[in-house]
Amino acid sequence: MAQKRIVKEYSELQKNPPLGMKISLPSEADMHQWQILIDGPKGSPYEGGVFTLQLSLPTEYPFKPPTLSFKTKIYHPNVTNDDKGSMCLGMLRADEWKPSSKIDAVLGFARRLLSEPQPDDAVEGGIAREFKENKKEFIKNAKAWTKQYAKK
Amino acid sequence: MADDAGQQRELVYCHACENEWYRDQHGLKCPNCSSEVVEIIEERSDPRRHRLNISNGEDEDTVMGNSDDRLPHNPLPRDDPWRDNVPDPDEPDIEHVEWNPAPGVHFARTSFRSSGPTMRPRSQDPNDMFAPLFQSVSTIFEGAANAGRPPQRDGPPRAVPQILHPLFPMGNPFPEYQHHHTHHHHSPWDGPQGGRSVFTATGRWPPNGPGPSPNDRNAQNVQNVLATLLQTMQAGMAEQRGQPSPMGANLPAFIVQMLGNGTHGDAVFSDEALDRIITQMMEQTNTNSAPGPASAAAIAALPKKEADKAMMGQDGKAECSVCMDAVEIGDEVTVLPCNHWFHGECVGAWLKEHDTCPHCRQGIMPKDGPREADAPRSPGQAPRHNLNPFLTTINPNANPGTPPSRGSGPNGVNTQSGMQQPYVPGGYPGYPEPTNPVRPLGHHQGSYSQPPSPQQQQRHRRRSAHSQRSSNGGEGSSGGGGQGVTGWFRNLRGGNSGNR
């Protein structure tokens, strides 16, 4: 089931790509690894940058949730600043996942999180604090990182 | 077992029965008790070490003098930097190590653990580097807040407590010097399988005894040590972010590496690192908090029907939202008590693992009734599991036929996302408005008093698991949350009095 549904979702997303995203397969042979390029949302400090994300679909998909990680370094309270770049997405947690959730929605959610960081649910506490208490500095840093790491 | 054998062959240790064997002989499953809770012994991480401490209940000198005798079977060379300073703890489950890397700097680490039968195997996957820390809960001591307080004992001056017993305050010979903060006292990792680490970094009291006014000097001394530590940590972090570190070279590379990574052994040194570990641990264990399976009999007893015209969406099409295959009129589908329908095979595969509707997350098992009920609930009966944060209504009079198919367009958004539209049953064709409001049922509903964002949902769970360790400073927090090392220390010091 996994393969069929994944192919289906992939082709739907190719037909109607979500706003500001490019979806591709790094290896045509492996439908379970997707590469997503997300444009930094307008009005956010990530604007002008392109962020590479990796979406991994487990073989049990859709019974097990996909995982999403940033391959491009990003200064964001909800993305871990480590080599994993894990994005903290509630809907992808095993106990909150449901099979009717679509990748389309997952990606939309991820992009939304770029526009609207959730400092109260941060994985990077320092960045979250800065976001809340010193927005100016946060924006400056986020922009600097975008410029440095997420160049088009 | 000679030393050279241990270097060439991987030795595996069973946490369940304490058996040891070579990996190339018996693999990663205990040949003795068949447990898979095993760990490959490494020089830096020897799971037996805490047992070593147990095995000798005498004083430090004895421990050091006899350590080789105590370990006739230990193939590992004695090159552990910690080990020469390992004093013997009085408690069997405590590993206590100390280190004085520089004059005036004193590290101590105490790990508490009980090796329950469910400990995880150490993974060799570098991505899984936190796995060994799964049950580690970080507790932090420090002496800074003591600095201004006169020592309340006579006799020779001495270092700040060498033996720390946060779990057993009665046994602590220096209670007045102790301050500890415990992260998430009630985390799911506490308890029988729990372990935790205490990390202390303090300065020595003046070597020449309590002078007329030692306190100010003490304070200064400790402050200096803390400042040094802090700089080191920041330097480590700076390095991590690719910036040069002016301080990095001044202290042993070991510390920098340790602090820069934010993790070492069972201890973590930054909130972010701890958070990552917790998150990872939760990811590894979070199926525990999900509803269990529905009973096979109940799944089999779910009503089936032929898809009819009323079940088709506005465009006359419908699909099973699990496999996303089209469902035509006349196809047999299985209908859940919530009235969502799917291919029988598809929904069965999900329900046998999770008693929630793949679409609205209400379970099929009745709330009241035996654990292994052999029939699903009736539509009017409350579900045992209801993970739908928005749908606080069960709908006994719903029309049959509820196309889960949404296709693309506005209805295609994922309704679980709190940032998007909340799930509105009436928003789907053929789905009637809820008519019979009831309170959310089941313990999973506890935190959903209002529609939270998915992240808030997640945070709820993590908070409860972290026991309020948050940047807003929940009680019991070490104050680690959300502010990096600086705040970590600040909170640590500021919050001391409450926890003493």
Mean pLDDT of A110-131: 90
Phi, psi dihedrals of residue B131, rounded to the nearest 5°: -55, -40
From its phi and psi, is residue B326 left (phi > 0), alpha (psi between -120 and 50) or beta?
A: beta
Amino acid letter, A145: W
Is B21 domain-assigned?
yes
List the beta bridge partners of residue B108.
Answer: B98, B200
Angle in degrees, CA B175, B179, B181, rounded to 5: 135
Query: Is the domain of B51 the same as that of B105?
Result: no
Query: Is the domain of B64 the same as that of B115?
Result: no
Window A:59-78, CB contacts with B under 8 Å: 62-63, 78
Is B430 domain-assigned?
yes
Query: Is the domain of B225 the same as that of B317?
Result: no
Is B455 domain-assigned?
no
Residue B180 has a pLDDT of: 38
For residue B483, what are the contacts with CB-CB under 8 A and spacing of at least 6? A125, A126, A129, B271, B471, B490, B491
Is B200 domain-assigned?
yes
pLDDT at position B93 over 90: no
Window B:64-123, CB contacts with A under 8 Å: none
Query: Is the domain of B326 the same as that of B357?
Result: yes
Is B207 domain-assigned?
yes
> Which is more confident, A148 or A2?
A148
Whether chain B has a CB inside 8 Å of the CB on A118: the answer is yes
* A88/B279 touch (CB, cutoff 8 Å), yes or no: yes
Mean pLDDT of B263-274: 59
pLDDT at position B5 over 70: no
Mean pLDDT of B144-168: 40
- Residues B34-49 have pLDDT tens digits of 887 888 887 777 767 6
Whether chain B has a CB inside 8 Å of the CB on A27: the answer is no
Which string of DSSP letters, residue by residue, matches B357-387? Answer: -TTT-B-SSBSSS-TT-SSPPPTTSPBS-B-
pLDDT-based confidence at residue B315 (cuts at 50, 70, 90): confident
Tell me which chain A residue has its CA closest to the CA of residue B410: A105
The distance between the two most distant Cα atoms of chain B, rounded to a whole number of Å, is 95
Phi, psi dihedrals of residue B50, rounded to the nearest 5°: -70, -20
Which string of DSSP letters, residue by residue, matches A109-134? Answer: HHHHHHHS--GGG-SSHHHHHHHHH-
* A100/B349 touch (CB, cutoff 8 Å), yes or no: no
Q: Report how far residue B376's alpha carbon sits from residue B356's, in angstroms, rounded to the nearest whole number.
A: 12
pLDDT-based confidence at residue B110 (cuts at 50, 70, 90): low
> Which is more confident, B31 or B495?
B31
* Final residue of a structural domain among B88, B111, B142: B88
Q: Report how far residue B382's alpha carbon sits from residue B394's, in angstroms, rounded to the nearest whole number.
A: 7
Q: Which of A95, A105, A116 sits opposite B414 (nearest CB)?
A: A105
* A91/B283 touch (CB, cutoff 8 Å), yes or no: no
**What is the tally of structural domains in chain B?**
3
Residue B314 has a pLDDT of: 82
Which of the residue ranges B39-48, B275-284, B426-435 would you say has the lowest mean pLDDT? B426-435
pLDDT-based confidence at residue B377 (cuts at 50, 70, 90): confident
Query: Is the domain of B72 the same as that of B184?
Result: no
- Mean residue pLDDT of chain A comes to 91
pLDDT at position B411 over 80: no
Query: Are the CB atoms for B419 and B476 separated by under 8 Å?
Result: no
Query: Is the domain of B434 the same as that of B314?
Result: yes
Is B476 domain-assigned?
yes
What would you report as the CA-atom Rg of chain B, rounded to the nearest whole angstrom?
29
pLDDT at position A125 over 60: yes
Is B327 domain-assigned?
yes
Question: Among residues B1, B10, B4, which one has the least CA distance to residue B77?
Answer: B4
- Residues A10-19 have pLDDT tens digits of 999 999 999 8
Mean pLDDT of B147-170: 40
* A96/B458 touch (CB, cutoff 8 Å), yes or no: yes
Whether chain A has a CB inside 8 Å of the CB on B154: the answer is no
Mean pLDDT of B391-420: 38
- Mean residue pLDDT of chain B comes to 55
Range of the domain at A50: 2-149
Q: Report how far residue A17's alpha carbon sits from residue A11's, in angstroms, rounded to the nearest whole number.
A: 9
Query: Is the domain of B252 the same as that of B131?
Result: yes
Question: Among residues A113, A72, A77, A71, which one has the least CA distance to residue A92?
Answer: A113
- Tokens 């303090």 correspond to B202
Question: Among residues B272, B152, B101, B350, which one has the least CA distance to residue A1?
Answer: B350
Range of the domain at B30: 1-88
Whether chain A has a CB inside 8 Å of the CB on B292: the answer is no
Q: Report how far residue A99's alpha carbon sits from residue B349's, in angstroms, rounded to the nearest whole number.
A: 11
Percent of chain B with pLDDT over 70: 27
What would you report as the CA-atom Rg of chain A, rounded to the nearest whole angstrom?
15
**H or E segment at B5?**
helix B3-8
Note the helical H segments in B241-343: 253-261, 271-285, 296-300
CATH of the domain at A70: 3.10.110.10
Residue B467 has a pLDDT of: 34
Mean pLDDT of B163-177: 38
pLDDT at position B440 over 50: no
- Top mean pLDDT of A97-106, B79-88, B491-500 is at A97-106
Query: Is the domain of B23 the same as that of B72?
Result: yes
ipTM: 0.84
pLDDT at position B27 over 70: yes
Residues of A with a known catalytic role: 88
Which string of DSSP letters, residue by residue, matches B400-421? Answer: S-------SSGGGS-TT-TTSP
Which of the residue ranges A21-30, B347-356, B467-476 would you say has the lowest mean pLDDT? B467-476
pLDDT-based confidence at residue A91 (cuts at 50, 70, 90): confident
**What is the tally of structural domains in chain A?**
1
Structure tokens at A122: 């941060």
Mean pLDDT of B15-39: 82
Residue B303 has a pLDDT of: 92
Residue B223 has a pLDDT of: 57
* Final residue of a structural domain among B47, B65, B88: B88
